[in-house]
Amino acid sequence: MIDQIRKYIEEAKGFSTNSSAEIEEFRIKFLGKKGILNDLFAHFKTVPNEQKKEFGQVVNELKNLVNDKVNTLKEALEGSSEVTSGIDLTRPGENFEIGSRHPINSVKNRIVEIFSRIGFTLSDGPEIEDDWHNFTALNLPEHHPARDMQDTFFIEKEPDVVLRTHTSSVQIRYMEENKPPMRILSPGRVYRNEAISSRSHMMFHQIEGLYIDKDVSFADLRQTLSYFTEALFGKSKIRLRPSYFPFTEPSAEVDVYWGLETETDYRMTKGTGWLEIMGCGMVDPNVLKNVNIDPEEYTGFAFGMGIERIALLLYQIGDIRMYTENDLRFLEQFKSELF
Ligand code: DAH
C-alpha cells in the first residue's frame, strides 16, 4: 500500500501540462470526491497500527504535493493564457475583406446627389404597375402605337397589370398626390420583354426627373441638364435632338459632347464625339390634365435615363453583362467609390 502511495507521489511530481482541462483532470483524479486521496483516507482505519504513522505521513505528503502542483500549474497557465488558450495576441491580424458598392448603385447615388443640390427630392413607386400609371395617364391610350416602343411584361390582362416599363409611371403617381411646384427624382428597376443580348436585359434601372412649376421653360430644361452632365462627367456641352415621347411635347434626345481626344473617345462615340445619354421634354399638357394640373397655369419638364448606360460611359465598362456576372475582378474595381 505504502509503495503504491509512493508511486502516486512520483506520478504527481512528474506531472506537467499547460492545458487547463488536464490540470482539472489531474485534480479530480487525486482530490475529487471519488479521488485517490479520499480512497486512501477511507483506508486509514484498516491500516495496521504500526504502519499508521508512516501511512499518514505519505498520504499527507501526496495531498500537499498534489495541491501545490495544481496551484502552480494554474498560476503558470494564467500568466500565459493568451498563448495556451489558442489565441496569440502577437500574431498579425487577419485581413477583413470589405465589399464595394455595385457600380449601378454608386452611379445612381451620384446622380441623386447631383440633383439634390438643386432641390430635387426622391420619390418612388411600385414595380408592379397598372395600365393607367404606366401608359394611359402618360398620354399612351389603349392601342396607341407608341405602346410598342417598350415590350411589356403583363402580369394580368383586363384590367392590365404590368411590370413597369419605365420610371415615368412615378411621375403620374407623384403628380396625383401632390401640388406644384414639384421637383422629384425617381430611380428604380424597370422591365422589358426584350431578347437578352449583350445590349438588352429584361430588367434594368432608370432614373426619372420631373420639374413642374409656373413658367418652367425649355431653356430651364437645357440648363439643368447641362449642369448635370458637367457635375457627373465634367462635360457641360450638350445638344438636344428632336425626338418623340408621348408624354412630352416637344421631346428631345440628349447628347453630351464627349470629345475626340483619345482612341477610346473615337470608339465610344463612333467618331462623332457625341454620346446619347437620355430622353427628355416638356411635360405634355395632356399628361398634366390627366393628373388635374392646369396646363394653362403650370408647365414642366421631365427626363429619363438608363443607369446601366450612364455607368457604362462613366466607368468605360466594356460590356453590360459585367453588371450581372458577379465577377469579383470586375466588382473590386469600384472599391474606391465613395457613393
Ligand atoms: N420613359 C422613357 C423611356 O423609358 C424615358 C423618358 C424620356 C423619360 C423622356 C422622360 C422623358 O421623362 O421626358 O425610354
User: Percentage of the chain surpassing pLDDT 90?
Assistant: 68
Q: What is the pLDDT of residue 19?
A: 86
- For 222-249, what is each residue's pLDDT tens digit? 999 999 999 999 999 999 999 999 999 9
Distance spanning both ends of the chain, measured CA to CA: 81
Band (163; pLDDT cuts 50, 70, 90): very high
Mean pLDDT of 180-186: 97
- 209 and 283 fall within a common domain: yes
Q: What is the pLDDT of residue 80?
A: 63
Q: Which residue has the higher pLDDT, 174 or 333?
A: 174
Return the ligand 1 atom nearest residue 305 CA: 5
Calculate how far, in angstroms, residue 4's C-alpha sits from the geometric centre of ligand 1. 96
Q: What is the pLDDT of residue 198?
A: 52
Band (138; pLDDT cuts 50, 70, 90): very high
Mean pLDDT of 97-122: 94
User: Percentage of the chain surpassing pLDDT 70?
Assistant: 96
pLDDT exceeds 80 at position 326:
yes
- For 193-218, what is each residue's pLDDT tens digit? 876 555 555 899 999 999 999 999 99
Q: Which of 320, 285, 318 is nearest to 300 (CA)?
A: 285
Pocket test for ligand 1, best of 134, 167, 247, 308 (most atoms within 8 A of CB): 247
Return the ligand 1 atom nearest residue 167 CA: 1
- 72 and 140 fall within a common domain: no
Q: Which helix (H) or strand (E) holds 20?
A: helix 20-31
- Flag whether 118 is in a domain: yes
Total number of domains in the chain: 2
Domain boundary among 84, 112, 129: 84
- Flag whether 92 is in a domain: no
The β-bridge partners of 156 are 161
- 151 and 199 fall within a common domain: yes
Return the ligand 1 atom nearest residue 247 CA: 13
pTM for this entry: 0.73
Task: State the sign of the Cα–Cα–Cα–Cα dihedral 25, 31, 33, 39.
Answer: positive
- Flag whether 97 is in a domain: no
Q: What is the pLDDT of residue 321?
A: 87
Q: What is the pLDDT of residue 142?
A: 86
pLDDT exceeds 90 at position 172:
yes
- CB of 302 shorter than 6 A to ligand 1: yes
Pocket test for ligand 1, best of 303, 309, 310 (most atoms within 8 A of CB): 303
- Flag whether 46 is in a domain: yes
- For 255-281, what is each residue's pLDDT tens digit? 999 999 999 999 999 999 999 999 999
Label residue 314 exposed, middle or buried (CB < 10 Å: 0-12, 13-18, 19+): middle
Alpha-carbon distance of 183 to 112, in angstroms, equals: 12
Residue with cell 418652367: 216
Calculate how far, in angstroms, residue 191's C-alpha sits from the geometric centre of ligand 1. 14
- For residue 223, the domain's CATH number is 3.30.930.10
Q: What is the mean pLDDT of the chain?
A: 91
Residue whose Cα lies nearest atom 7 of ligand 1: it is: 279
Range of the domain at 158: 103-334
Return the ligand 1 atom nearest residue 208 CA: 12
